A and B are shown apart, each in its own frame.
Chain A
């Protein structure tokens, strides 16, 4: 479930990135790297787990599935937090810089 959620996140982010390319003002590329990287790693994890469990891998317990869903969603949330922090630090549109300098002038 975690793999599935991260793959969906990666695909959605890639579509958004492609739609806005070559402009990268919102730095959606950061999200693409995060989610694709983790998706590939979880895919490997899933393959090893499948090799161990066989078809049982596809019929998880409800509690495990719920836990994995929570994990997947919180992974997506963490990725988005990393992206927002990177966006505010790099500030490609100069919005933060403009806001800070404006404040300096008024005070």
Chain B
């Protein structure tokens, strides 16, 4: 009914958080690098703001296509109150229940996938760093 509103709200929060963190990283002069760019003297770590953008992209991407699905099914309309379920109290209760179950699970699963991506990324960064230090020791 309106389960998509939960991940959309999370997307909004993460978008703002990513912008704030990116600004802070720029102020602190953290080196921007991408995975695989292991130039000598450069960090191979990906900035956290970039990692947070992965979550933001996934949340917005999913939310946009799911909003379209809700429009397709007539659950979201382009006029007030925008949600067809909002015009009837019984439907509103059902909608809120769906948001608290399906919507929250959607947001949690996407966040869990992102955490998994962070874990893999962190392992790859550590491996790249140890390889870079081993190369340095060899050349020294």
Contact = CB atoms under 8 A, between A and B. Distances in A.
Prevailing SS type, chain A contact patch: helix
Contacts of B4: 41
Interface size class, chain B:
20 to 34
Interface stretch (B82-90, B106-114, B131-139): B106-114
Given A22-B34, A48-B101, A41 B64 contact: no
B65 A34 contact: yes
B72 interface: yes
Contact of A45 (B61, B64, B102): B102
B58 A40 contact: yes
Interface string A40-67: 1111110110000000000000000000
Given A40-B58, A40-B113, A34 B102 contact: no
Interface string A9-33: 0000000000000100000001001
B109 A71 contact: no
Given A22-B36, A33-B58, A38 B65 contact: yes
Nearest to B62: A37
B109 A43 contact: yes
Interface residues of A, number: 25
A41 B111 CA distance: 11
Nearest to A21: B36
Interface in B33-61: 34, 36, 54, 57-61
Contacts of A40: 58, 62, 106, 109-110, 113
A65 B57 CA distance: 29
A30 B56 CA distance: 12
B3 interface: yes
24 contacts: A6-B65, A33-B54, A33-B60, A34-B62, A36-B58, A36-B61, A36-B62, A37-B60, A37-B110, A40-B106, A40-B113, A41-B4, A41-B110, A42-B66, A43-B109, A44-B105, A45-B3, A45-B102, A48-B105, A71-B69, A71-B72, A75-B68, A78-B64, A82-B64
Interface of B: 3-4, 7, 34, 36, 54, 57-66, 68-69, 72, 101-102, 105-106, 109-110, 113
